Chain A
Amino acid sequence: MARYIAQRLLQIILTFFLFLALSYMLLEAMPGDFSQLFLQDPKLTLAQREAIAASLGLNRPPHERFFRYIGSFLRGDLGVSFQYYPRPVVDVILERAPRTLMLFISSTVVSFYVGFFVGKLLAWRRGRVLEYITTVGGVTLYTVFTPWFGLLMIWLFAFTLDWFPIGKFITPRLWRDAPVEANVVFNRMLLTALVVSIVLLTWFILTRRIDTRRRRVVHWGGMGLGLAVVVGIWGASGLGPYALNILHHLMLPVLTLTLISFAGTMLLTRNSMLETLREDYITTARAKGLPEKVIRDKHAARNAMLPVVTSLVFSLAFALSGGVITEGVFSWPGMGEVLLTSAVVQDIPMMMGALIFTAIFALLAHLVVDILYAFLDPRIRYG
């Protein structure tokens, strides 16, 4: 498996440099000049303008500029944002990226889980009416015009039912006398989520081999205990209400993004399940007199998951697109929102920074999916 992962890693690095080259070509192809916008200030004299241009390397030949571009990227220098001047782009990204990660990861995990579960059931009971309703509903959710859907969600859950706040990250009134900044609380939340998932995963792996009948109790007990500990620690720290406030703001965007991306997984799982159900080992499982639920979950769904995980790569890009739009609609101050505003005001360094961030993130997610796949498929794990 190490070879497989190394190979994928190499491919991904290759792909990333292809991306850097293409993104540089985009900048070159842009009408006018990269820093024309920056130099438009009429107060600058011609000499000053040329000095800046020279310092930016604009008077150099293209290939030299390209190496400059790569070089400054490798040094972690993505330039200075126009709209947040004089903040460096990297600074803005570091502040905003965790918020996007939180939104993206929670909705991806939930939508994968729910989509897989529903798709599995759909393939198992192929009722005509139910199938039409869920397929049409699923496709509609998958192709729904995201901003419009976001508005509908706001109308339903924020206006009519008044369950969630309309948008943004926090309620300013509540945070006026807060002991710490919102970002600190948020990063701690992210850390908590990470630690909890790692601990739970370890727990599940460790208890995999125990007696079938007792395993369920142990699993659920462990999960409950973990959650109780988390709630206890946050309650004791005194930051609980603030964390809840952020969580409250997070709910509606996550719900929206989840609904949009779950349909894809659902439809895919259904198709994959239908193909798996024709495999010979499913007949074997039936002949073995196993209970229906075991055949469905342990034999069929486990195999049907493989192609679904493979195509997670496609759905990740889809969910990232959806995430950008959702952030725009809910004014969730993450990377997507920064990307949108910088595109509108033509803050080119920020925009390119967001694009590079997205590319790195997407490629890393790609790698994670590949590793996950290798773990799920013994033919690769022991290949």
Chain B
Amino acid sequence: MATEERHNPFATAQPAGDGTTLDQQERERLRAQPLWRVRLKLLAGTLWNNWKLFTENKIGLIGLAIILFYAGLALAHPLLMGRVWDPLIYDPVIGFDPLAAPHPAPPSAQHWLGTDPLGRDVLSQLMFSTASEFILGMVAALITVTIGTSIGALAAYFGGWIDTFFMRLADLVITLPAIVLLIVLGGLFTLDLPLLALVIGILSGFGATTVIIKSQALTIKVRTYVEAAWVAGGSHWHIILRHIIPNLLPLTFLYMMFTVTDAIFAEAILSYFGLLNIRMSWGLMIHTTQSAGYLLNFQTWWLIVPPGLSITLLCAAFYLVGRALDEVVNPRLRKR
């Protein structure tokens, strides 16, 4: 008791009723629980703290708000199609409104964002495309993170020729402009959405993400708890899976956000240049406008502004969230 107070005189300033200190009570309580529950609690506590740090940065919140807005649009589309909108008129791909002619028709009460040159509702196209953007982004990000984390951890842990090979590969992927490669792939293959997600995931997984995660893994590798695990006879896999990878997770989560931005952007570019086999997307909406010859006709702004703005906003939103997370993960950037 006396030594306890000497070691940390201020945390234990108020003795509880039964003579033990709050600190000790807390410890007893923790000891009584199963280990997983303690871990879960600690995790929840960390998440809550990080969330508080995240909300301090208004920029991240702006990004989150935009993401939620578009997620709302994506969810609302099937509901609207099922209940409010007539599929014959409002279907994003095969719909046609004979009453609103001539097409493209400017925004009206029936078509809030007007119709495209083929007589389809622009808002419906916009909302329909949102879901695939999210799915594309998430799938690509998951692939990236899986590849980046495992390769990064392996390269850092084993070093040697594994490291050399993957770092040269990463060098190549980083140096080559991704869009150029994707355009070539679009010319050689018939790219569709799942394939695109795979390609983007692989590209960014083997590129910058690996390098950054590897350098982080290197710093983790030399920490005392990894050495302790090693001395205690932990196998390579045990150390990588239980000690290195869990500590890389915050960083990988951060890089997921940037991959989502890249994926959405790449999809839009490829659809815009007509190199992607897709039914409907924001990029394709601009492509349609271009092939119908309305691209430089600035009176029909509703054909270009909604998809262009949406691509920009959603890309920016994920990027902003990524930056805000960066400040959470990387304390050096934080304001005091």
Contact = CB atoms under 8 A, between A and B. Distances in A.
Classify A-B as touching or not with yes or no (CB < 8 A).
yes
A340 to B, nearest CB: 6
B295 interface: yes
A30 B188 contact: yes
A146 to B, nearest CB: 7
Contacts of B333: 271, 274-275
A324 B177 contact: yes
Contacts of B298: 155, 159
A362 B176 contact: yes
B312 A26 contact: no
Interface stretch (B87-95, B102-110, B137-145, B313-321): B313-321
Nearest to B330: A271
A359 B316 CA distance: 28
A143 B179 contact: no
A151 B272 CA distance: 13
Nearest to A344: B274
B85 interface: no
Contacts of A351: 184, 187-188
Contacts of B62: 136
A336 B177 CA distance: 11
B236 interface: no
A348 interface: yes
* A contacts with B: majority SS: helix
Contacts of A328: 273
Contact of A145 (B172, B273, B315, B320): B315
B311 to A, nearest CB: 4
Contact of B176 (A19, A126, A344, A354): A19
Interface string A296-338: 0000000000000000011011101100110010000000100
B316 A143 contact: yes
B185 interface: yes
B120 interface: no
B180 A321 contact: yes
Nearest to A14: B168
Interface string B182-207: 01111111100000000000000000
A11 interface: yes
A308 to B, nearest CB: 15
A143 B59 contact: no
A132 B174 contact: no
Contact of B304 (A151, A314, A316): A151
B311 A148 contact: yes
A276 to B, nearest CB: 11
Interface string B265-295: 1001100111100000001001000000001
A340 B286 CA distance: 16
Interface of B: 58-59, 62, 168-169, 171-172, 174-181, 183-190, 208, 261, 265, 268-269, 272-275, 283, 286, 295-296, 298, 304, 307-309, 311-312, 315-316, 319-320, 323, 332-333, 335
15 contacts: A22-B172, A27-B188, A140-B316, A143-B312, A154-B296, A313-B174, A314-B174, A318-B177, A320-B177, A324-B177, A324-B183, A328-B273, A339-B180, A354-B184, A359-B176
